[in-house]
Amino acid sequence: MTSTPPESQTQAQPCCPRRVAIPRETKRYADILKALADETRLSIIGLLAAVPGELCVCDIEAHVKHLSQPTISHHLKQLREAGLVTAERRGTWVYYSLDMSAVGRLREFVTLLGG
């Protein structure tokens, strides 16, 4: 004995929920999240967050020993461009610190996620 499925099951139903637009304000966080999506950059952010004030680039390079100086400079540039760190040149050295306004933007993003 075969039975036919109910009419509601025979109609084409979408396999995925309908798309919901991401709120426009989340786009401003994309650069920050891209910058944080790298293990080395996360390590640098953690290092800067762990110290009060600022660190000389030489201290950051000493912490990230497995990478060359140009690679570390590239990562620091990415963090600066994302607005996560600030940099101040003093003579031949550059001093970096965590940009606290970026921390505020991250908190705003978490709030958008419902946290």
Q: What is the pLDDT of residues 31-55, one digit of tens each?
A: 899 999 999 999 999 999 999 999 9
pTM of the model: 0.74
Looking at residue 71, what is its pLDDT? 95
Domain count along the chain: 1
- Sheet of strand 55-56, all strands in order from the earlier edge strand to the far edge: 55-56, 93-98, 85-90
> What CATH number is attached to the domain comprising 32?
1.10.10.10
Asked if the structure places residue 52 within a domain, the reply is yes
Asked if the structure places residue 5 within a domain, the reply is no
Region 95-111: mean pLDDT is 90
pLDDT band, very low/low/confident/very high, at 30 (cuts 50, 70, 90): confident
Looking at residue 11, what is its pLDDT? 63
Asked if the structure places residue 101 within a domain, the reply is yes
Range of the domain at 37: 25-112
Asked if the structure places residue 17 within a domain, the reply is no
Asked if the structure places residue 1 within a domain, the reply is no
Asked if the structure places residue 41 within a domain, the reply is yes
Region 75-79: mean pLDDT is 96
Q: If you ran DSSP here, which 8-state letter would residue 94 be given?
A: E
Q: Which of 23, 10, 36 is nearest to 102 (CA)?
A: 36
